[in-house]
Structure 1
Amino acid sequence: MHTFIYLLSSVLSAPYWSKTMPTFFKFIAATTKAFALFTLVLSSINTFASELTAEVDRNNVSTDETLTLTIRYTGNRNDHVDISELRNEFDIVSNYENNSYSIVNGRLSGFKEWTFVMRPKREGTLLIPSFRIGRNISDAIEIKVNKPVYQPSQTGQDVFIETIVDKSTAFVQEQIIVKYRLYYSVNIDFQHVDDLKIENAILEQLENTQYQTKLDNRPYNVVEFNYAIFPQASGSISVPALNWNIRAARTRSGYSQGMGRYELKRLRTEEKPIVVKPQPASFPAGATWLPASELTLDENWSANPSNLTAGNPITRTLVLKSKGLMAAQLPQIVQNANSSAMSIYPEAPNTSENKGALGISSQRIESMALVMNQAGEQVIPAVRIPWWDTNEDKLKYAEIPEQKVTIASSAALEKEERNKAIASQELLTPNQSAPTGATLVWLRLWQAWAILATIVSIIFFVLWRKATAPAAHLPTANRQLTRGAQALSMLKKYCRENNPQLTRQQLILWAAQHWKHNPPKTLDELAARCNNPNLTGQLKLLDEILYKKEANTDWNGQVLLNALNEWLKSQAAQSSTNGNGLAPLYPN
């Protein structure tokens, strides 16, 4: 509503109307524009969602080391975070704030960030407390603090490096963390570092970490260069030895002896062998292999699924989150099991990943519109995804149980609404309490604005009709044509990428645009509707690839696309022959 009023006021403020309309209209235009700006501000405030998160760059340290805590808040920039409880267990070495705000597509977004470099006060398991701003509460974080027992073999040098691999044995496609930990007590510059390359493995660079520590009572700065490795074949791999050339400042004694201000340090890392185990035989055959330290599955509904009505859509959103997997490793969450009782219209999946210092976390979001075609009791099937817990070395399942829902018919719903309306009228009595004075003032104010907006809309509509009477309106068929062309464009994209899952989803979406009133909901129905032997064969092949246990990974989507294009051309030619004068439905 506020967007319409703002556009209306902008039109009324245009030069043409400024010259032709009376002063009264100009006053209305100015007032309407001010009201639109006011409602836009209110809308921005109301839609700006706040969130409070806390994370650390390391969760295992010694008493001589520092770690970095980052608290992020997407809310009012004037709010502050209370860290008094944090000081009970940690000394704050340094801290700083950062504000970032922006307006994207008319929506306000941004965050305020507090960063603390801190050192633990004691050994043991310490807890970074939950922080609270308004109704937002962050998660508490557990930190393990150890004695500074381990001393690198090169202690005493100004600059040295060590190589740390978090596991010497891993499953195929399991995440392995490699750290190059560089210690330095003097100023340094990097001259040359060999590139890390590992055969039969995917390599991802993670966020680097910086902190301070003490070795033999000598303070060092430490930089950790972190990598995630995903071996792609069982057997063995090796993290190779690398050469690091670093220019380091000489100590005062060396410089005073005429050796120059800097010296070149040639460091070499250790080679680390890793044994890669195959996928366990106990893992379900045909399922996507998912070795992770954590995997969760959640769902959200746009409305209460227990109040479904036949024929009305509801949106279901499934979120699969992992720790230790790349986004590309996450599987399709649900197959689109259309049936006579339920139709599913999926959206394109949304994937994301975060490459933090502790490893990769990722998520996959699938949203779909569900339409119940029949009234009565229906079952929404369970979702069950097997995965391998690398911490406990055993098979687990991320699952959402099946749900039984009762679907109301449209006629029953209308009758219920009428009964509610009658009941609410009967409950009204003359003795009902009147609104408070403040409420009444606001109510009358909004009513006045609504009346004003209505009057202006009517005036503008009359003037606009006079000014644009000869103009033609965009036919509904053209708008449908645009949506259909977009659906076909995405279908061609997935075919050329040889992606059978997304191709099937997009075929159903395209069919819903092509046949508006009674679209086919499965590949079999689509094949019957097209009635073309070549296209039918390709659709059946696609169905077999998707649902056979041993799917053919060499599916060629271009063949299906060629068959579909031929069918579309034949339909366009047939329409032209019939003399209906229609252009091809989706040209090229």
Structure 2
Amino acid sequence: MHRHYCARILFGLLMLLTTAIQAAEIQVAVDRNPVSLNESFQLTFTASDEPDGNPDFTPLQDNFQIISQQRSSNSSWVNGQSSRKEQWIVRAMAKQAGDLLIPPIAFGADSSKPLKLVVSENTAAPQGNDEIFLEVTATPEQPYVQSQVLYTLKLFRKVQITQASLSEPEIKDALVEKLGDDSTYATQVKGVDYWVTERKYAIFPQQSGVFTIAPLILNAEYLSNQRQPRFNGFFNRPDTETRRVASKAITLNVQAVPASFKSPNWLSAESLTLSETWSDAGLQTKVGEPLTRTLTLSAKGATVGQLPELLGKTAIDGIKTYPDQPLLKEDKQSDGLTARREEKIAFIPSKPGEYTLPALDIVWFNTKTQKMETGHLPSVKLKALASAEDTQTSAQPAAADVQPEQPNSQIAASPITVTSSGDTLFWQGCRRPWRWAGC
């Protein structure tokens, strides 16, 4: 009985020793320590033997953002002995500054050891020698409500970016429109050469008050800045780094509609044009035929939703009107957004005569001069001519009008013959022309 008990203890110790021998040792290393808050770093987990299972990197996500993962294996035969090495490379970025702990990572029953990482706060403004930085501006910073604000983003870089993602401008109670295509050019900052990618937006605050345009966030992966490109041995890719870059926040003090603006319809713009064209330059037509008027309103620094209706609702006696659906268009150029509204209306007169269309006035606020102005079209006189049928009917004389005047009874007693000579008629036997009642 005692022998069996000792054998069991010995067997258990052997099993524990075997398990300890078979457990894979997993080492963890970081490419640099400390690291900056907005810079990526590389964690390398290395196992000399195949671990018990695949790694579970979920605990890393508490304090770190996992950007990418790679795995490689390498086998070698040296002096008659074989060796195998497994590696997992994780590129990550800290979510907060401070002394952070890389937690133990489980590989099935195996596990790596914890590692302390120092993450420093990096809030210094760009000094002109950073690999990547952002600059943003907003003009004006004290706009009027519903007026255009030009928001310009510039991405400066002196390294080659392989891939990147950029957030969009966010501001409460505002319309945001991207303007045109991005432009790329070269420049110098404090004697350092940079490539610049410039992007512009038009922002239209819809409420007055103080608003903040949140910082834009750029996540960029770029080639390491080294004299000689160094390639890793796993997927034959060059070494890259990932960095998160944030722009500054911008505060807008949005002003309400000025008290001097008396029109009920608020319209602000940098410039405004109001024009008209007609299907007939002489401004005339015939009864029953259309005469088409085209009105065009163009405003730079405004949206189509701000442009008012152009055609009046006043009825004109003797003319029927047939308006078309308005055409709305926005032109997005790098210098701002231009809104355009076009309206067409056909005038068809029901009787001949002259008709007067009232003047058209569009009151607007010039954001450059800070003054109220008026787009004006003068009143217009239209002429309606009689139709061809009306002209032909009015040109035919009545039958009673062409009957000659009956002569008096004395002349009628004798037979009389009427002859013509030129345009003058004569009585035969009477030398007086038929312009007199008697001979």
- Aligned counterparts, 1:303-382, within 5 A: 303-382=280-359
Distance (Å, rounded) in 1 between the aligned partners of 2:184 and 2:238: 29
CA deviation after TM superposition for structure 1 residue 414, in Å? 4.5
- Aligned counterparts, 1:18-33, within 5 A: none
Alignment correspondent of 1:517: none
Instruction: Give, as a single letter, the amino acid of the residue that structure 2 aligns with 1:184.
Output: R
Unaligned runs of 5+ in 1: 1-151, 419-588
2:166 paired residue among 193, 210, 217: 193
Distance (Å, rounded) in 2 between the aligned partners of 1:406 and 1:192: 63
Cα–Cα, structure 1 residues 242 and 254, in superposed 2: closer, same or farther, change >3 Å? farther
Instruction: Give, as a single letter, the amino acid of the residue that structure 1 aligns with 2:180.
Output: E
Cα–Cα, structure 1 residues 262 and 345, in superposed 2: closer, same or farther, change >3 Å? same
1:154 paired residue among 114, 119, 127: 127
Cα–Cα, structure 1 residues 295 and 413, in superposed 2: closer, same or farther, change >3 Å? farther
Distance (Å, rounded) in 2 between the aligned partners of 1:347 and 1:413: 29
1:262 paired residue among 231, 240, 245: 240
Task: Judge conservation of contact 1:183–1:222 (CA < 8 Å) in 2.
Answer: yes
Cα–Cα, structure 1 residues 188 and 400, in superposed 2: closer, same or farther, change >3 Å? same
1:228 paired residue among 184, 199, 202: 202
- C-alpha deviations, 1:439-488, integer Å up to 9, x for none? xxxxxxxxxxxxxxxxxxxxxxxxxxxxxxxxxxxxxxxxxxxxxxxxxx
Task: Judge conservation of contact 2:126–2:133 (CA < 8 Å) in 1.
Answer: no
Instruction: Give, as a single letter, the amino acid of the residue that structure 2 aligns with 1:185.
Output: K
CA deviation after TM superposition for structure 1 residue 382, in Å? 1.1
2:140 paired residue among 143, 148, 167: 167
The structure with more radius of gyration: 2
Instruction: Give, as a single letter, the amino acid of the residue that structure 2 aligns with 1:236.
Output: V
Whether 1:291 and 2:265 are equivalent positions in the alignment is: no
Highest RCO, 1 vs 2 (Cα 8 Å, sep ≥ 6) = 2
Task: Judge conservation of contact 1:380–1:404 (CA < 8 Å) in 2.
Answer: yes
- C-alpha deviations, 1:17-45, integer Å up to 9, x for none? xxxxxxxxxxxxxxxxxxxxxxxxxxxxx
Alignment correspondent of 1:248: 222
Cα–Cα, structure 1 residues 410 and 245, in superposed 2: closer, same or farther, change >3 Å? same
Instruction: Give, as a single letter, the amino acid of the residue that structure 2 aligns with 1:389.
Output: N
Instruction: Give, as a single letter, the amino acid of the residue that structure 2 aligns with 1:241.
Output: P
Report SS of the residue matched to 2:203: strand
Distance (Å, rounded) in 1 between the aligned partners of 2:355 and 2:368: 39
- C-alpha deviations, 1:527-563, integer Å up to 9, x for none? xxxxxxxxxxxxxxxxxxxxxxxxxxxxxxxxxxxxx
**Which structure has more helix as a fraction of its residues?**
1
Cα–Cα, structure 1 residues 305 and 381, in superposed 2: closer, same or farther, change >3 Å? farther
Instruction: Give, as a single letter, the amino acid of the residue that structure 2 aligns with 1:322.
Output: A
Unaligned runs of 5+ in 2: 1-124, 396-439
Cα–Cα, structure 1 residues 257 and 368, in superposed 2: closer, same or farther, change >3 Å? closer
Whether 1:278 and 2:256 are equivalent positions in the alignment is: yes
Distance (Å, rounded) in 1 between the aligned partners of 2:314 and 2:361: 14
Report SS of the residue matched to 1:328: helix
CA deviation after TM superposition for structure 1 residue 410, in Å? 2.7
Distance (Å, rounded) in 2 between the aligned partners of 1:222 and 1:370: 55
Cα–Cα, structure 1 residues 345 and 336, in superposed 2: closer, same or farther, change >3 Å? farther
- C-alpha deviations, 1:239-281, integer Å up to 9, x for none? 1123211112222248569996211122110011011111122
- Aligned counterparts, 1:41-80, within 5 A: none
- C-alpha deviations, 1:333-378, integer Å up to 9, x for none? 1223222132211011111112222221121110110122343332
Instruction: Give, as a single letter, the amino acid of the residue that structure 2 aligns with 1:341.
Output: G
Cα–Cα, structure 1 residues 391 and 273, in superposed 2: closer, same or farther, change >3 Å? same
Task: Judge conservation of contact 1:207–1:355 (CA < 8 Å) in 2.
Answer: yes
Alignment correspondent of 2:52: none
Distance (Å, rounded) in 2 between the aligned partners of 1:194 and 1:389: 32
CA deviation after TM superposition for structure 1 residue 313, in Å? 1.1
Distance (Å, rounded) in 2 between the aligned partners of 1:256 and 1:172: 54
Distance (Å, rounded) in 2 between the aligned partners of 1:326 and 1:348: 18
Distance (Å, rounded) in 2 between the aligned partners of 1:306 and 1:320: 21
The alignment's TM-score, normalised by the length of structure 1, stands at: 0.42
CA deviation after TM superposition for structure 1 residue 305, in Å? 4.1
Instruction: Give, as a single letter, the amino acid of the residue that structure 2 aligns with 1:235.
Output: G
Instruction: Give, as a single letter, the amino acid of the residue that structure 2 aligns with 1:252.
Output: Q
Distance (Å, rounded) in 2 between the aligned partners of 1:295 and 1:399: 11
Distance (Å, rounded) in 2 between the aligned partners of 1:305 and 1:366: 20
Cα–Cα, structure 1 residues 405 and 252, in superposed 2: closer, same or farther, change >3 Å? same
CA deviation after TM superposition for structure 1 residue 402, in Å? 0.6
CA deviation after TM superposition for structure 1 residue 411, in Å? 5.8
Instruction: Give, as a single letter, the amino acid of the residue that structure 1 aligns with 2:221.
Output: R
CA deviation after TM superposition for structure 1 residue 177, in Å? 1.2
Report SS of the residue matched to 1:180: strand
Aligned residues: 264
CA deviation after TM superposition for structure 1 residue 292, in Å? 0.6
- C-alpha deviations, 1:372-413, integer Å up to 9, x for none? 234333212111111111111111111211122443333699
CA deviation after TM superposition for structure 1 residue 315, in Å? 0.8
Instruction: Give, as a single letter, the amino acid of the residue that structure 2 aligns with 1:224.
Output: E
Whether 1:205 and 2:178 are equivalent positions in the alignment is: yes
Task: Judge conservation of contact 1:201–1:232 (CA < 8 Å) in 2.
Answer: yes
Task: Judge conservation of contact 2:186–2:194 (CA < 8 Å) in 1.
Answer: yes
Distance (Å, rounded) in 1 between the aligned partners of 2:310 and 2:162: 48
Task: Judge conservation of contact 1:290–1:329 (CA < 8 Å) in 2.
Answer: yes
Task: Judge conservation of contact 1:317–1:368 (CA < 8 Å) in 2.
Answer: yes
Distance (Å, rounded) in 1 between the aligned partners of 2:180 and 2:321: 40
CA deviation after TM superposition for structure 1 residue 282, in Å? 2.1
Task: Judge conservation of contact 1:234–1:278 (CA < 8 Å) in 2.
Answer: yes
Q: Once structures 1 and 2 are overlaid, which stretch shifts more, 389-398 or 196-205?
A: 196-205
- C-alpha deviations, 1:290-337, integer Å up to 9, x for none? 111111111111112433333321111111111111122211112232
Whether 1:237 and 2:211 are equivalent positions in the alignment is: yes
Distance (Å, rounded) in 2 between the aligned partners of 1:284 and 1:373: 39
Instruction: Give, as a single letter, the amino acid of the residue that structure 2 aligns with 1:275.
Output: N
